[in-house]
Amino acid sequence: MDFSREFIALACDKGVLRFGSFITKAGRNSPYFFNAGLFDDGLSFRALCGYYAHAIRSSGVEFDMLFGPAYKGIPLVAGTAIRLAEEGVGLPFAFNRKEAKDHGEGGTLIGAPLAGKVLILDDVISAGTSVRESVEIIRSAGATPAGVVIALDRMERGKGALSAVQEVRESFGIPVIAVATLDDLVGYLADSTELAANLDAVKAYRDTYGITSGR
């Protein structure tokens, strides 16, 4: 089992990935729902950050440091930096706060100064707003966005023909690395006797709203 499937198995076990009938922000009736906020204990969150570290190292993307956008990116960037350090890759990291502080260190950035090629860590990309804000923060510091790492790529069209992930790739010219994709989920369901009953609904949803290619 590769790390993408191991991640999906963990997400199902933790209830992070659930199956049924869910209305998305776009008003679509989705047969599955993903909520990374439910990796809410030390053991599962450590595993999640290990999958991020694995996806980053497997991607071959070049970068000098990590950045986590508030709020979900904050624990992700700290946890992934620790997991990478455990693998012998010690890197600086930073994150932002939503509200500027007028005392102490001040400003909105916490951690290492943004410099060089900066890899952004977030849970998912829905509208791309968080990525856009992160890119602006990184560029305004004189650094360069190196890419974005997310847990799950739904591979789903937005308002046009492109998915949110493809729009980010096109708009900013940076790679998006996903720990797992909708195709990985379909493959996992096809091999799971326990969850196979959800396969047809997920495939039908992909046929209706999916993009033609994840790359």
Among 54, 103, 117, 203, the active-site one is: 103
* Position 102 pLDDT exceeds 80: no
Q: DSSP assignment, residue 113?
A: P
Among 54, 101, 117, 203, the active-site one is: 101
* pLDDT (mean) for 161-165: 92
* pLDDT (mean) for 169-186: 96
Element (H or E) spanning 140, and its range?
A: helix 129-140
* pLDDT (mean) for 131-143: 96
Give the CATH number of domain 3-209; options: 3.30.429.10, 3.40.50.300, 3.40.50.2020, 3.30.420.10.
Answer: 3.40.50.2020
Contact in structure between 207 and 190 (CB atoms under 8 Å): no
Decide if 54 is catalytic.
Answer: no
Q: 0.85 exceeded by the pTM?
A: yes
Decide if 159 is catalytic.
Answer: no
* pLDDT (mean) for 54-59: 96
Report the pLDDT value the prediction gives residue 215, as an integer from 0 to 100: 43
* pLDDT (mean) for 135-142: 96
**What mean pLDDT value characterizes the chain?**
92
* Position 106 pLDDT exceeds 50: no
Report the pLDDT value the prediction gives residue 107, as an integer from 0 to 100: 61
Report the pLDDT value the prediction gives residue 189, as an integer from 0 to 100: 97
* Position 13 pLDDT exceeds 90: yes
Q: What angle (nearest 5°) sits at the alpha carbon of residue 97, between those of residues 93 and 100?
A: 125
Phi/psi-derived region of residue 21, left when phi > 0, alpha when psi is between -120 and 50, beta in every other case: beta
Other CB atoms within a 10 A radius of the CB of residue 39 amount to 23
Contact in structure between 121 and 149 (CB atoms under 8 Å): yes
Question: 79, 61, 77: which is closest to 69 by C-alpha?
Answer: 77
